[in-house]
Amino acid sequence: MNEFDEDALFREAMNDVSPLKDATTTLWLKAPSTRPPKQQDADQPDENFLTRGFLDVIPLTTKLEWKAEGIQQGVLDKLRKGEYRLDASLNLLRQPVETCRQALFSFIRESQRQGLRNLLIIHGKGRENESHANIVRSYLARWLAEFSEVQTFATAQRQHGGEGALYVGLRKSEAARVENWERHARRQQR
């Protein structure tokens, strides 16, 4: 099935859906950097690449967690326990799936640009596997793994939304990697 067919199927399925009143996406981000914007990387186009279409719904009883290849288990364990300071959050409660897709894409890209590392995404918790909140949750599991910037994600601790939210760990930006390397090099010179 090509992308055109998927778009047509999606539009047909969403034909009778109407937007919610007062539906807003809330983003809490640090103030924009005073540094000049960096040139767009060729391997990171700003076109939203997150998949649409058919979805295997993840049962509510399955906790979401994932780590990219090469990421240590300890990083995922600390994330799952909520031991990292949260830099920003995204509220997707009661948002249409396509709105969630667009908001997530923008949120991850902007967070990476600002050098943020630890995020909270609130998706809500349904009571049934086919509930809207669980469908968004299932899409999030698929979408987050599609980002090269995302290194881990896990179900949040109760104080941050529990089963209705996800912690997301982003990779260090190139600038943060260089700074970290320089800091360790200075420490070894002492």
Partners of 91 in the beta sheet?
26, 122
Confidence of residue 103 (pLDDT cuts 50, 70, 90): very high
> Which of 23-27, 67-71, 109-113, 186-190 is the least confident region?
23-27
> Which of 5-9, 27-31, 44-48, 161-165 is the least confident region?
27-31
Three-state SS for the chain is CCHHHHHHHHHHHCCCCCCCCCCCCEEECCCCCCCCCCCCCCCCCCCCCCCCCCCCCCCCCCCCEEECCCCCHHHHHHHHCCCCCCCEEEECCCCCHHHHHHHHHHHHHHHHHCCCCEEEEECCCCCCCCCHHHHHHHHHHHHHHHCCCEEEEEECCHHHCHHHEEEEEECCCHHHHHHHHHHHHHHHHC
144-173 residue pLDDT tens: 988 889 999 999 999 999 999 999 999 987
Three-state SS for 37-77 is CCCCCCCCCCCCCCCCCCCCCCCCCCCCEEECCCCCHHHHH
123-140 residue pLDDT tens: 998 889 889 999 999 999
pLDDT of residue 15: 73
Q: Is the Cβ–Cβ distance between 120 and 79 less than 8 Å?
A: no
pLDDT of residue 18: 60
CA 141 – CA 135 distance, rounded (Å): 10
Q: Which CATH class is domain 56-189?
A: alpha beta
Mean pLDDT of 43-47: 61
Confidence of residue 2 (pLDDT cuts 50, 70, 90): low
pTM of the model: 0.69
